[in-house]
Amino acid sequence: MRAALLTEYRKLVSTRFWWILLIVMAGYLAFLAAVIAFSVNAESGDGPGGAPGMPVASGVEAATIVYSLINAIGYVFPLVIGSLAMTSEFRHGTITQSLLVEPRRGVLLAAKLLAAVPLGLLYGVVACVAVVVGGAPVLALVGDGAFLSDSEVLQVLAYGALVTVVWAAIGVAFGALVTNQVAAIVVIIAFTQFVEPIARVGLASVDGLAGAAAYLPGAAADAVIGASFFASMGSADVLSRGAGIAVLLAYAAALALLARWTTLRRDLG
């Protein structure tokens, strides 16, 4: 298992794409954090520089909304890099060689899931730095402060980094299930940037379905972090932290098991 784990980790970091995507993520989150920090502190949606429809917030609440972008917007990046661990094997036809080295398919999948952990943590730490670099100066300038010494804010950042690890593992499991690289990336981008945000707001507006929104993967991750950009916009309440962790791990386990008994059960030679 140790040899398989080291091999899979080296595969993940042997290409340039992982650090290119890391840089893109950092720039994207820093920019959005600055924009959201200014927007949530606007006196009103119609005020100078205000953004219609954005929530008005102040103090620690404004800071946690901005820093929670690590998950609300940023989780697409660890999902994509995690999916590449499997889809690249099928795209380049190296899955056969990988199975010759490690014929136990469950072990191979487990090694890929575990190899994504340190890379996911790196993405999480960089995401935290990005939202702070982009959001903190604006919060200090137009709001009540960046609150970087506040325990609630520090907790949001710490759990945000840890949740990113789970997203990377979910990405691996999803890539093992949807092995076409282009299709996997398109589905991830579409779901994280369009489908789930719309679903969270839409479900919250229907009394009988409001509770279902909390079980969507992004909403579950917000529960772990303890802050939610979408909740500030009036979407449904999030779960407890323990329930959020359970739901996220359930997604990862379900996708991994489906992949093991579908994709990795077939003849891949």
**Mean pLDDT computed over 45-58:** 52
What does the alpha-carbon distance between residue 219 and residue 70 come to, in Å, rounded to a whole number? 13
**Mean pLDDT computed over 104-128:** 95
Closest CA to 106 of 263, 260, 249: 260
Residue 55: pLDDT band with limits 50, 70, 90: low
Q: Is 49 left (phi over 0), alpha (psi -120 to 50) or beta?
A: left
Higher pLDDT, 180 or 143: 180
The fraction of the chain above a pLDDT of 90, given in percent, is: 64
| 235, pLDDT greater than 80 | no
**Mean pLDDT computed over 21-35:** 97
pTM as predicted: 0.91
Residues 230/192, Cβ–Cβ less than 8 Å: no
Q: What is the mean pLDDT of the chain?
A: 89
- Cα distance between the two ends of the chain: 22
What does the alpha-carbon distance between residue 157 and residue 151 come to, in Å, rounded to a whole number? 10
